Structure formats: C-alpha cells, structure tokens
Amino acid sequence: MILSDREIRAALARDALRITPVPGTEAWSSTAVDLRLAKELVLWRRPDAGGVEAIVCPSDPGYDFDAARADYSQRIEIGAQGYVFRPQVFLLGWTIEKIRLPHRSRLAARVEGKSGLARLGIGVHVTAPTIHAGFGFKKDDPGYAGSPLQLEMWNVGPLDIKLMEGMPICQIIFEAVDGTPEKGYDGIFSIQGPAVGH
C-alpha cells in the first residue's frame, strides 16, 4: 500500500521515518516527495588498459565495488554553472536529503524518476529503485539522520542536459510493509553517502 501525503507526514511526526532536511511544501505531491540533487557526482569511464581487456565480475567472491569505482571512475562536483550531462554517459549521484527507515516502522520506499527529466532521456535508477526497510537506520545511534540515496543516472536521450545542485532529481514513494521484518536491511549500501568508499 502506497502512503498518501497525509500518512507520510504522520510517519514523520511519529519518527517512523526521517527525511533530513524536511522537504518544503513545493516538494510534496499526493503520494510522493521530491528529493534534490547533491553537488557530488561520480563519472564512470571506460578502462584505459593499454590494449588489455578489463572485465568486472560482480559475482566473483573477491569483487569489491569500491575498488572498481576507484579504478574506473572519477569524483566530480557540480559547479556554479552546473554540470553538462552528455548523451550515453552514466553517473552516480546522491540526494541532498537523507532517509531513515527503521525496520520496525514497517515502511519501505522506492525512488522513481521525475517525468520532466524522463521525457528528455534522463533516468535516475537503472534497476535498483527499492529502499528496503531498515535503510539508513543505526540501532545504536537513535539520533542518526539517515543516508542519502545513491542514484544511478544515465542520459539515453540525444541532448546535453545541464544538472544543477539542488534541482529536483527524483521522487520517493513510501509503502507499508506487510508484517514486521525480522531484521532490517544490512546490505553494503545500507549506510551510504558521497564520502563512503572514497
């Protein structure tokens, strides 16, 4: 069941979820809340292996995402003039807002793109829209604000698109979980942010 704006606000009021900072009134719709783009981006690049084939195998027991990111990407920041997102480019970005979903709250969420960007060919998640119950929650730190959402962004359209820090980049939709999970999400991306892995 998708939460309405009224139910999202009620969940915020009882600390069943946190969005930090709390979005302004312009960010709200009937069933979603817009989130804004932070200034840091990670630009993936093709391997420069001097003729040697470079293959990444995520199913290999020794696979390390942070090592792959260090080898094949560069960290950049959106400047005052913005960042021009070229066609056929893949970026990682983050939201300014941090999300906290204690698993006992029986809430999960998903991140979806904005239709105005989608119509230009910008996607904000490749295949990972789910934000699991327990995301951004530290049981030993009740004051923890949560984690920003990492966005897998690509430009499949023909146009150069200027990204600006603070622009609405995605929307978050909250859903009720049927039953209380035995444990919260504790995957490698549960506590994340631009500084993680750098």
**Does 142 fall in a domain?**
yes
Torsion angles phi and psi, residue 138, rounded to 5: -115, 110
Of 40, 53, 77, 152, catalytic: 152
- Cβ atoms of residues 181 and 120 within 8 Å: no
**Does 184 fall in a domain?**
no
Q: Is 152 a catalytic residue?
A: yes
Work out how many domains the chain is built from and give that number: 1
- Cβ atoms of residues 149 and 131 within 8 Å: yes
Asked if residue 187 has pLDDT above 60, the reply is no
Instruction: Express each pLDDT in 74-117 by its tens digit.
Output: 999 999 999 999 999 999 999 999 999 998 889 999 999 999 99
Asked if residue 55 has pLDDT above 90, the reply is no
**Does 182 fall in a domain?**
no
The residues pairing with 148 across neighbouring beta strands, listed in sequence order, are: 98
> Average per-residue pLDDT in the chain?
89
Structure tokens at 110: 């998903």
Of 23-32, 61-70, 140-149, 182-191, least confident by mean pLDDT is 182-191
CATH number of the domain where residue 120 is located: 2.70.40.10
Residue corresponding to tokens 């504790």: 186
Residue 82 amino acid letter: G
Instruction: Give the list of residues 6+ apart from residue 105 with CB closer than 8 angstroms, or none.
Output: 11, 16, 17, 133
pLDDT of 186 reads 57
